């Protein structure tokens, strides 16, 4: 589903975000990208939805080579990828319903289909009863669930989450992670970049750890720190 | 057409448009000023042109015949003139007839009792088919041995038209400059709207909206500003025509103020829309590429 081959990314200011990264993510899997801030987690996600282009290497998403994709083809690629951010990126003057519908409307979906798909997405994230509220009237967790509904409403094959729980308290964090797990169970490939150790250690999913733009380790059913359970005393 | 989609689109355009109301007013005002000038210019040009060609088509070449040329010889000349393809008509005015006409024109103050003989020559009044050929035709006729002299009033008219032409070019340059400034104001307005909506644009790009789709509301907005500006201008022009033209017509009785108003209005609206379209296309395009 996702494949990176010898990918490096150097920003114009000389910062090396990724350094010769090889990574393969199977269809339907759930993967944590972990590491400190500035180790290239966000950059890696950005390569997948072609917000950034690699300086070297090849990027494949759903068998499409992304790094050489023509500009005109990018919208089609992005309709296959849902993206969720730490700061939700909701439109404050639109209601929950309108925020979710927006993703369909601006991609030219027929109204009939919008009316059918939006309730389904809101139902999935459990916000059907708040569809007429504005983001400012919602809790952080609810705002993030709105953002997830927006990311998923077009039925993408992949969901990318960049620090989805970074702005949330522990109970909302749990709620969001359970939601992501449910989404994954329905067959969507989910990639979560996070530095929330508790979340990673509790879920016991595949963990890819980045450090200084390189993959430090890659474990099935891994921990945030290799070989250390959640109970261990951590050097910080 | 999907009505829901149309409503969503129009809603987005309207939301855009009202967000920067102040800037929009400036843009509309600039377009309006430009188009008022453009309209007035086009109006004046059409009037001068109608007037000029009207006058030119009425220009007569007066062909004065030599003294010894009698009526029979004059008729020969008339036949020669009538055969020339450039000549529309050639009418003979014998000297008696010429004097009669002069009396009729000048009225009772013109005293002929002192004249011992008729001082006027036999004359042909010649009209050319094409006003532009008047000088050539006159020169050609003057070469005939029976002709003493040819005369026509075209010099004045041609000077008038030449002046009108120069003024026209200056006017076009001025309007071009004004259009550019109107386009810059619209483009800045659109850039402000783009900036105000950068979050929306970012999300649209993220969820896979095409650049064309993202661009459309801004283009529509720019065109709306252009068309509204043109509308205001047309209102101002209509008012001006209503107020000013009757007074002008009273003073300049020989000028006809007949302009095809509907065509002019449509032209002005089209210009407004085009200025808005080009300006917004450029400013949004710049943002999307960045």
Q: What is the pLDDT of residues A197-206, one digit of tens each?
A: 888 988 889 9
> Residues of chain A whose C-beta is under 8 A from some C-beta in B?
49, 72, 74-80, 83, 89, 91, 102-103, 105-108, 110-112, 114, 150-151, 154
Residue B255 confidence (pLDDT) above 90 = no
Give the pLDDT band of residue A210 (cuts 50, 70, 90).
very high
Residue A73 confidence (pLDDT) above 60 = yes
Give the pLDDT band of residue B259 (cuts 50, 70, 90).
low
Nearest residue, CB atoms, A106 vs list B3, B199, B207: B207
Tens digit of pLDDT for each residue in B180-224? 888 888 888 888 878 888 888 899 999 999 988 888 888 888 898
CA dist A161 and A152 (Å) reads 12
Minimal Cα distance from B202: which residue of A? A89
CA dist B225 and B14 (Å) reads 11
Predicted local confidence at residue B1, as pLDDT: 58
Q: Which comes out higher in pLDDT, residue A80 or B13?
A: A80
Minimal Cα distance from B210: which residue of A? A75
What are the chain B neighbours of A114 within 8 Å (beta carbons)?
A: 4
Predicted local confidence at residue A232, as pLDDT: 46
Q: Do B208 and A78 touch (CB under 8 A)?
A: yes
Quick check: B222 and B186 in contact, CB under 8 A? yes
Q: Do B5 and A111 touch (CB under 8 A)?
A: yes
Kindly report the backbone phi and psi dihedral angles of residue B71, in degrees, each rounded to the nearest multiple of 5, phi listed first: -60, -40
Q: Do B213 and A108 touch (CB under 8 A)?
A: yes
> Residues of chain B whose C-beta is under 8 A from some C-beta in A?
2-5, 8, 199-200, 202-211, 213-214
CA dist B204 and B198 (Å) reads 10
The stretches of B58-130 forming alpha helices (DSSP H) are 71-83, 95-106
CA dist A206 and A2 (Å) reads 14
- Token look-up 């001082």 returns B119
First CA to last CA distance, chain A: 34
Nearest residue, CB atoms, A75 vs list B3, B202, B208: B208
Any idea how long chain B is?
Answer: 290
Quick check: B47 and B40 in contact, CB under 8 A? no
pTM attached to this predicted model: 0.71
Residue B69 confidence (pLDDT) above 90 = no
Q: How far off is chain B from A151, nearest CA to CA, in Å?
A: 7
CA dist A51 and A188 (Å) reads 21
Q: Do B209 and A106 touch (CB under 8 A)?
A: yes
Q: Which three-class secondary structure state does DSSP give residue A208?
A: strand
Residues 6+ apart with CB under 8 A from A72: B210
Q: Which comes out higher in pLDDT, residue A91 or B65?
A: A91
* Percent of chain A that is helix, strand, coil (3-state, to 5): 35, 25, 40
Quick check: B96 and B118 in contact, CB under 8 A? yes
Q: Which of A106, A110, A121, A152 would best serve as a mutation to test chain B binding (most B beta carbons within 10 A)?
A: A106
CA dist B6 and A105 (Å) reads 10
Tokens (6 digits) for A51: 């917000």
CA dist B151 → A27, A184, A187 (Å): 97, 99, 98
CA dist A79 and A98 (Å) reads 18
Q: Do B206 and A102 touch (CB under 8 A)?
A: no
What are the chain B neighbours of A91 within 8 Å (beta carbons)?
A: 199-200, 203
Taking every pair of Cα atoms in chain B, the longest distance, rounded to a whole number of angstroms, is: 103
Mean pLDDT of B231-239: 90
Of B272, B34, B263, nearest in space to B171 by CA: B34
Predicted local confidence at residue A108, as pLDDT: 87
What are the chain A neighbours of B215 within 8 Å (beta carbons)?
A: none
Residue B85 confidence (pLDDT) above 60 = yes
Quick check: A178 and A147 in contact, CB under 8 A? no
Does this complex have an ipTM over 0.85?
A: yes
Tens digit of pLDDT for each residue in B140-171? 888 888 888 888 776 666 676 677 778 778 87
Of B136, B123, B145, B135, nearest in space to B62 by CA: B123
B168 C-beta neighbours (distance < 10 Å), count: 16
What mean pLDDT is reported for chain B? 80
What are the chain B neighbours of A103 within 8 Å (beta carbons)?
A: 203, 207
Give the pLDDT band of residue A117 (cuts 50, 70, 90).
very high
Q: Which comes out higher in pLDDT, residue B132 or A114?
A: A114
CA dist B128 and B135 (Å) reads 10
Task: Output the 3-class SS for B3-30.
Answer: HHHHHHHHHHHHHHHHHCHHHHHHHHHH
Lowest mean pLDDT among A9-18, A162-171, A200-209, B131-140: B131-140
CA atoms within 13 A on the CB side of A85: 11
Minimal Cα distance from A106: which residue of B? B209
Predicted local confidence at residue A230, as pLDDT: 47
Minimal Cα distance from A152: which residue of B? B207
């Amino acid at each position: 589903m996702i494949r990176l081959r010898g990918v490096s990314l150097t920003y114009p200011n000389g910062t090396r975000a990724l350094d010769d990264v090889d990574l393969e993510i199977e269809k339907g899997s759930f993967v944590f990208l972990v590491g400190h801030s500035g180790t290239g987690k966000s950059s890696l996600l950005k390569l997948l939805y072609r917000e950034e282009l690699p300086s070297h290497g090849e990027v494949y998403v759903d068998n499409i080579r992304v790094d050489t994709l023509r500009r005109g083809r990018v919208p089609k690629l992005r309709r296959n990828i849902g993206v969720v951010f730490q700061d939700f990126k909701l439109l404050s003057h639109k209601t929950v319903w309108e925020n979710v519908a927006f993703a369909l409307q601006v991609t030219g979906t027929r109204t009939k289909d919008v009316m059918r798909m939006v309730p389904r997405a809101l139902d999935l994230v459990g916000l059907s009863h708040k569809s007429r509220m504005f983001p400012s009237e919602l809790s952080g967790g609810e705002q993030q669930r709105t953002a997830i509904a927006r990311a998923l409403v077009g039925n993408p094959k992949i969901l990318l989450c960049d620090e989805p729980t970074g702005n949330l308290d522990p109970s909302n964090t749990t709620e969001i992670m359970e939601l992501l797990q449910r989404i994954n169970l329905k067959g969507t490939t989910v990639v979560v970049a996070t530095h929330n150790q508790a979340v990673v250690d509790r879920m016991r999913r595949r963990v890819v750890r980045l450090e200084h733009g390189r993959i430090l380790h890659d474990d099935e059913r891994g921990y945030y720190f290799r070989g250390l359970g959640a109970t261990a005393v951590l050097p910080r | 057409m999907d009505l829901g989609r149309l409503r969503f689109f129009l809603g987005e355009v309207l939301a855009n448009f009202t967000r920067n109301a102040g800037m929009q007013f400036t843009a509309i005002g600039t377009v309006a000023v430009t188009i008022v000038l453009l309209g007035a210019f086009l109006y004046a040009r059409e009037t001068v042109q109608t007037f000029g060609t009207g006058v030119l088509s009425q220009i007569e070449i007066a062909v004065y015949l030599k003294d010894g040329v009698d009526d029979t010889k004059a008729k020969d000349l008339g036949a020669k003139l009538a055969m020339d393809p450039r000549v529309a008509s050639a009418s003979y005015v014998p000297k008696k007839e010429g004097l009669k006409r002069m009396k009729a024109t000048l009225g009772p103050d013109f005293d002929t009792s002192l004249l011992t003989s008729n001082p006027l020559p036999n004359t042909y009044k010649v009209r050319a088919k094409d006003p532009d050929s008047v000088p050539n035709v006159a020169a050609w006729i003057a070469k005939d041995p029976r002709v003493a002299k040819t005369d026509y009033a075209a010099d004045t008219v041609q000077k008038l038209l030449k002046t009108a032409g120069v003024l026209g070019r200056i006017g076009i340059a001025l309007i071009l400059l004004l259009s550019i400034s109107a386009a810059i104001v619209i483009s800045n307005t659109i850039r402000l709207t783009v900036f105000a909506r950068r979050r929306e644009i970012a999300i649209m790009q993220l969820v896979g909206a095409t650049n064309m789709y993202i661009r459309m509301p801004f283009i529509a907005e720019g065109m709306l500003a252009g068309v509204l500006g043109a509308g205001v201008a047309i209102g101002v022009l209509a008012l001006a025509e209503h107020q000013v033209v009757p007074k002008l017509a009273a003073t300049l009785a020989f000028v006809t103020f007949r302009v095809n108003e509907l065509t002019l209005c449509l032209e002005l609206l089209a210009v407004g829309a085009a200025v808005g379209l080009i300006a917004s296309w450029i400013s949004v395009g710049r943002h999307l590429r960045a």
